[in-house]
Structure 1
Amino acid sequence: MQEKKKPNFDRTKSTMKNIRFEDELLEQIEKAAGKGNFSKWVKEACARRLKNND
């Protein structure tokens, strides 16, 4: 059996999730986040929402 190749970076404390966005919402997020900042923007928005729900 072939061994899986591990990436050169440590991601042991994170999990990749697939998520579907409506086209209009996605366009708004991409515009607000700027080039290359999509994941960071979404994670910060989620963290802000969780903080405000306390």
Structure 2
Amino acid sequence: MQEKKKPNFDRTKSTMKNIRFDDELLEQIEKVAGKGNFSKWVKEACLERLKKDS
């Protein structure tokens, strides 16, 4: 029996969500976020919006 690999990080307090982006918006985000930083950029943008709205 093959042993499952355990990830190096803990994601027990996170949830994956699938969302749609308009193509133009997605291109703009990818351009400014840089390669490999999309999720980080989107999370930071959400946090900024939450600060603004609270």
Shorter chain as denominator, the TM-score bin is 0.7 to 0.9
Q: Report the counterpart of residue 24 of structure 2 in structure 1.
A: 24
Q: Which runs of 5+ in 1 are unaligned?
A: none
Paired with 1:49 and 1:14, the residues of 2 have a C-alpha distance of 19
User: Following TM superposition, where does structure 1 have runs of at least 4 consecutive aligned residues deviating by more than 4 angstroms?
Assistant: none
Q: Which runs of 5+ in 2 are unaligned?
A: none
- The two structures have a TM-score, normalised by structure 2, of 0.84
Identity score, percent: 82
CA RMSD of the aligned region, Å?
1.3
Paired with 2:38 and 2:31, the residues of 1 have a C-alpha distance of 9
- The two structures have a TM-score, normalised by structure 1, of 0.84
